[in-house]
Chains A and B, each alone.
Chain A
């Protein structure tokens, strides 16, 4: 008996092993006034949070 597979779905990504990546959200604060004079969010930070948000929407 043969089995024909029609419209085989694209398999989901299969993670293997472990990778580390990270990101920062840094505030530069003027001590005398408490004012935030600069702010940096690294791309990996945005990537991670977007992925979490997307997954929360999905599930």
Chain B
């Protein structure tokens, strides 16, 4: 299964409904209310479905917690959103460094990174995601780090 990235399939549908003014369109989250979440497997390009993503559990990694993107950045979004550039589109990146607490309890596997609208540690909507392609082992004592501005990058085009 090919790795995917961008919007989950359900958000594709919701955004479309929003653009055309249909019922069940998108309700904007509170500014700055997004969190980074971690998953053991890929959402895949075929399904782009968080429903198939298995999020890390606090019962397994006792230190796991979704990490807030904060309220800095463009329009207090937690993202740096660049102006549209010809041939590139609109690139947006994480404003601040996101550091997951070191894995505790049981070693984990990282297959996808998501961005949710709820602090969790479970539930809410995944608004954006990136698959790693090949899931990576994360040993006890190791932190998953997305550095400021370079950790994750999305393009709208």
Contacts and interface: CB of A to CB of B under 8 A. Distances in A.
Interface string B52-91: 0000000000000000000000000000000001111101
A24 B142 contact: no
A22 B128 contact: yes
A31 B143 contact: yes
A24 B130 contact: yes
A33 to B, nearest CB: 9
Interface residues of B, number: 38
Secondary structure type dominating chain B contacts:
strand
Given A43-B3, A51-B88, A23 B144 contact: no
Interface string B119-146: 0000000001111110010110111111
Interface residues of A, number: 30
A37 interface: yes
Contacts of B152: 22-25
Contact of A38 (B3, B133, B136, B150): B136
B130 A40 contact: no
B83 to A, nearest CB: 13
B91 A48 contact: yes
A30 B141 CA distance: 6
Interface of A: 15, 18-32, 37-38, 40, 42-45, 48-49, 51-52, 55, 58-59
